[in-house]
Chain A
Amino acid sequence: MGSALICASLVGLIILTLIGQTGPVLSGHFSSLWGTVWNPNTDQYGIIPMLYGSIIVMLIAMAIALPLGVLTAIYIAETRSARLRGIMKSALEVLAGIPSIVYGLIGVAYVSVWVAKGLDLQTGRLILTAGIILAVMILPTILTLTEDAISNVPEIYRENARALGLYRHEVIKDVVLPHAKRDILAAALLALGRALGETMAVMLVIGSLDRLPSPLFNLLSSGQTITSKLGREIGESAFGSAHFSALVLMGLILVLITLALTAAAQWLIHRAPREAAHV
């Protein structure tokens, strides 16, 4: 049946379609690609600011969401309250269904206003704001998957560790977390992929400035990510131009990174099951 072939070949088709459009910028303006200046009027297509923006926003989001998600998951899983777990799970499912454009609206209407007021800045559309919104968006993913991972650690491990006189935090740190490590890592990779690919919310709050922040770690400057760049400029660039092909090239880089993250997460999940428990 052809449909299976369609399904399996779509990823390849997407990548080929993108590669097909990268020609103009690769042949004509290759040297400018690795620069830090983006200015289509002077044929300069430096993608470094966007790459940097994507990575830094992703790092901020992970730095907030990972500890918050894992600690919350520990609380929910270790208190063993079925009621709390049920309530949180259904609330998270609702949150996961909220479209990203609505997160963008919340970012515009609340978070960027708070950041601007709280830090006394003229605009709240900053790299930091985008990171915060992204953190909120990936929190459900991290929280649900981590909570599953921790709940799946067999009870007998905890009982043995408690019997040895370990405190609860020691049980978690030395027994539960090492056991759930691989699944938590897979959850983090999936969340990373989502954070990198997220467009609408980031695009609305990041301020769209195609320059590296100065100094480099100034999170309170406006920035640009690959996705926000694509969202803003695809409509303005002419099909087949060097400008368009530079944008497509960035899209291609993004796809390859997210595919690698997905493959790594799948590999972690499906790797040979752990050796039998020595109890």
Chain B
Amino acid sequence: MFSRAAKEHVFAAATRIALFISIGILAFLLGAIILRGLSALSLDFLFTPSRSFGSSGGIAYQILGSLLTAITAGLIATPVALGASVYRSEYMTSQRARRIFDLMLYGLNGVPSIIFGLFGLILFVNIIGTGLSWFVGGIILAVMMLPTATLATVNAMRGIEKNYRENALALGLTREQTALRIIIPQSLHGLVTGVLIGLARAIGETAPIMFIATAFSGATVPTSLHEPVATLPTHILALAQQAADPAALKNAWGASFTLIALVALFSLAAFFARARLSPYSRR
């Protein structure tokens, strides 16, 4: 048997080693992405279209396609998230209904991303018959980000102080007026933050859109709703599969870095939105 003091030392050492391993992993990941990414990056790379299946040329259309699908998703998800959360906090009266609603959202949040792709493929591409379409990709990404956006808005609405509602009632405002004049303005920061965080996640997703919205090469600027686009994640996927080719690998790192920069951009926007848009009463 070891003495208690010896066990203490072993335990302390184990936690310290775990910390070093974790920090090592963090540092390695960030270092690899930043170093390999920066060395592949140039203005030329960002603004020229890709050639020979991505192993030469740049990623101009991929950036465009990613932004297009993500922003479409944001535009679709925002009104639905707003409507759903107003309904939940103002019109849903029973606690039970609210719990079921929340559980459904958490459930949707936990659905694996590839399942959204499968769902979109079956429902839109085949049953409705849209074919490969960037717009369908936007819809599916909107479905994916809906729980994030809605839960953030619901949380903001939950934080509204009781006397705001009481005052509105005392002034004789109808439920509709209360929602429009009090609840929505007071929870706007939650909606904007939630949508931006959702966008940061959506733009990096590959699995939901790879069967339904993207083409690996040859896609340019779409001229109708029924055309596929190229996106950064699917581009990285195609390049990672030819990783034996150093030129392809280099471009994959460049595209990864660009993608993470876009994710960071949306996350930072979310951070500032939360700070700027919070109502004065809660700053």
A residues with a Cβ closer than 8 A to B are 1-4, 6-11, 14, 17-18, 20-21, 67-69, 71-72, 74-76, 78, 88, 91-95, 97-102, 104-106, 108-110, 136, 139, 143, 167-170, 172, 190, 193, 196-200, 204, 227, 230-231, 234-235, 239-240, 247-248, 251, 254-255, 258-259, 261-263, 266
Contact = CB atoms under 8 A, between A and B. Distances in A.
A262 B150 CA distance: 17
Contact of A14 (B100, B119, B237): B119
A234 B206 contact: no
A72 to B, nearest CB: 4
B15 A4 contact: no
Contacts of A99: 203-206, 233, 259-260, 263
Nearest to B91: A1
A255 to B, nearest CB: 5
A169 B12 contact: yes
13 contacts: A69-B22, A72-B15, A95-B26, A99-B204, A106-B29, A106-B32, A143-B22, A167-B5, A240-B126, A248-B122, A254-B112, A258-B110, A259-B110
B218 interface: no
A247 B114 CA distance: 12
Given A7-B146, A99-B260, A108 B240 contact: yes
Given A8-B104, A100-B206, A101-B236, A262 B22 contact: no
Contacts of B240: 101, 104-105, 108-109, 204
Q: Which of B7, B118, B237, B241 has the most CB of A within 10 A?
A: B118
B237 A234 contact: no
A122 B18 CA distance: 31
Contacts of B217: none
A2 B86 CA distance: 11
Contact of A7 (B91, B114, B121, B150): B150
B236 A102 contact: yes
A69 B15 CA distance: 10
A227 B4 contact: no
A18 B260 contact: no
B80 A102 contact: no
A242 B19 CA distance: 49
Contacts, number: 233
A139 B92 contact: no
Q: Which of A17, A170, A190, A239 has the most CB of B within 10 A?
A: A17
Contacts of B84: 1, 3-4, 6-8
Contacts of B147: 7
A92 B256 CA distance: 18
Contact of B260 (A4, A97, A254): A97
Contacts of B122: 17-18, 20-21, 239, 248
Given A71-B18, A105-B240, 7 more contacts: A7-B84, A21-B122, A88-B23, A169-B8, A197-B114, A200-B207, A234-B118
Nearest to B103: A266
Contact of B207 (A7, A69, A199): A199
Nearest to B105: A7
Contacts of A108: 240, 243
A105 B15 contact: no
A69 B104 CA distance: 29
A196 to B, nearest CB: 7
Interface string B236-270: 11001101000001001100100110011001000
B21 interface: yes
Interface string B12-46: 10111111011101100110110010000000000
A125 B237 CA distance: 16
Q: Which of A8, A9, A18, A139 has the most CB of B within 10 A?
A: A8
B259 A102 contact: yes
Interface string B83-119: 1101110011000000011011111111111111111
B111 A258 contact: yes
